[in-house]
Chains A and B, each alone.
Chain A
């Protein structure tokens, strides 16, 4: 174990010590041609690329679990990654060393990381590393409407949702969702803020503040729930369901808004919806949030980078993620 600890990386500080900063050897410029950086000895190795706003407790837990199974584990936040690009080649580097020889890479990006996130995912897809989440899923799941559209078109039950550009024409869409409705503005890549709108007057007053052409409006029928929803963690073919109960008086069941979480039994219907959603989006690891509506389960969201609810579930979900990725790597090495 001690020997492994010396070889591996427990957190960001030792990583920097071991790698050393030698990016200066990579030259950008027409006269240089670019020197080749050193390669990692990436035998049975696992790279976690985190969000620039990564949660330390989740990452520490992932590194701890990963070190039990992988020979070499590296965590790098996305804003520390360098992408070296030239015709016919794109590589990820960190402090002058290639990150392309890992057996598995798990990118945990949020919508805030999209400027680099799409490029990093594109490079990962060009590598031979196993990655449980594809670029396309990152683009779709960070867009509330796009997620509903793709899942709906595949026959997965969702909530009536609309997308439009101009607030001027909002009146034509009120009938599609009715009141109350949830409105989300989509700007740049993902959404910012969600508002609950109860009537036409409220809608008009909110739309008055939306003037920018490059903001897009997504509205969704508000499902009056029972103050809870269910997050289905999809890990390969398995589903772990967690009931999230919202704080009293809060219409969202988010843990970050004071809700609580507990594991519940997954019904066959939940399992079918969660697995189908993950398959349509091409994700081996994700979370699909469900809500009860009219006596059946409907998808409210699919998560590219779900939080593992460490406060309520401990490291259970993280352990499952790492074990699944390790199994994939093992199979890849065994069967090529």
Chain B
């Protein structure tokens, strides 16, 4: 089975290459910077340094959600060519936009805090007197969180409102529990978690976290959050059983160290099982796919289905 590993930098995914090879994959690494997409003559080509990228059975993608404007057309192309990837089309747009992410999670019945999203400060002002504190308030300019502050009472909320600039695109206001945060890596149905302690200045750094055993409910919420956003592999943050963040790029190095697990091995195993489920067999899937595509628009198309 042929696997393409795409990442922003090789050092982010280096340990994955031998892990995939040990599962029988023929692996090739490609830096995302070197990829280009070309659409012409009613078709799309994926190229690297001017050369067409050959057919792969699967793609392991490790990139930040902020690369969505490039990644989304790429995922669309993988999907239309029936190449499996750990992120589905649409997932990077969800990852890039926080209001969209929370709305998607809510409609997917994922446990999240109660949230209000508004496009103007007037829209959140009325919460000031009647909201139940503490609250977390975020001000977004484009996709970037420009300000993020926990407010404990109406006075602090007023101070926040006075400090905001005119160019804010959206405000996110959500219930906030000052407590420990759980960061986990979801790999298919497996979840590996780390607990980060709440300190006076906020939550501790991930590298100072301790291995944590999730409850069944927390485990289920993490998997559901990743799947709802369109990721088979994701990094999740949660607090009090409620999801606070979902992102496609996992901090593999730190999580592997704290969990004392070879997460690369788990990812490779997940890919091998996934492709087996999808019916991709070594050297067979590709040729049949090509034959089907060639004859799909002929009288033989129906028969080949």
Contact = CB atoms under 8 A, between A and B. Distances in A.
A122 B127 CA distance: 24
B64 to A, nearest CB: 9
Contact of B99 (A80, A119, A163, A169): A119
A112 to B, nearest CB: 8
Contacts of B127: 23-24, 26-28
Nearest to A125: B107
A188 B65 CA distance: 11
Interface string A154-176: 01111111111110110011011
Contact of B131 (A27, A126, A152): A27
Nearest to B32: A165
Interface stretch (A1-9, A139-147, A319-327): A139-147
A19 interface: no
Given A28-B114, A146-B73, A172-B36, A83 B49 contact: no
Contact of A115 (B77, B97, B132): B97
B173 A28 contact: yes
B174 interface: yes
Contact of B33 (A27, A146, A165): A165
A90 B103 contact: yes
Contacts, number: 221
A21 B122 CA distance: 11
Interface in B105-163: 105-107, 109-120, 122-123, 126-127, 129-133, 135, 140, 142-143
A188 B40 contact: no
Contacts of B36: 162-164, 169, 172-173
A187 B169 CA distance: 16
B22 interface: no
Nearest to A171: B50
B15 interface: no
A88 interface: yes
Interface in B243-284: none
A143 B173 CA distance: 29
Question: Considering residues A87, A153, A214, which has the most beta carbons from chain B within 10 angstroms of its beta carbon?
Answer: A87
Contact of B114 (A34, A79, A115, A155): A34
Given A115-B140, A153-B80, A186-B69, A162 B114 contact: no
B177 interface: yes
A149 interface: yes
B104 interface: yes
Contacts of A32: 114, 132
B295 interface: no
B33 A169 contact: yes
A234 B305 CA distance: 34
Contact of A83 (B39, B99, B112): B99
Nearest to B123: A82
B69 A161 contact: no
A90 B109 CA distance: 10
Nearest to B133: A29
Given A80-B120, A80-B123, A86-B114, A152 B42 contact: yes
B38 A173 contact: yes
B47 interface: yes
Given A90-B103, A164-B36, A188-B69, A85 B112 contact: yes
A211 interface: no
Contacts of A156: 42
A251 interface: no
Contacts of A165: 32-33, 35, 67, 70
B40 A160 contact: yes
A25 B129 CA distance: 10
Given A149-B76, A153-B44, A30 B114 contact: yes
B170 interface: yes
B34 interface: yes
Contacts of B140: 115
6 contacts: A27-B132, A28-B131, A119-B117, A172-B50, A176-B40, A188-B142
Interface of A: 21, 23-32, 34, 52, 78-90, 114-116, 118-119, 122-123, 126, 136, 139, 143, 145-146, 148-150, 152-153, 155-166, 168-169, 172-173, 175-176, 186-189, 214, 216
Given A29-B135, A153-B44, 17 more contacts: A26-B116, A28-B174, A28-B175, A30-B132, A52-B119, A83-B99, A84-B115, A85-B115, A86-B112, A87-B112, A88-B107, A126-B107, A152-B39, A153-B39, A162-B38, A164-B36, A176-B38
Instruction: Please list the 5 inter-chain residue pairs (A to B) with the smallest Cβ-Cβ separation, ordered nearest first.
Output: A29-B132, A79-B119, A160-B40, A172-B50, A164-B36
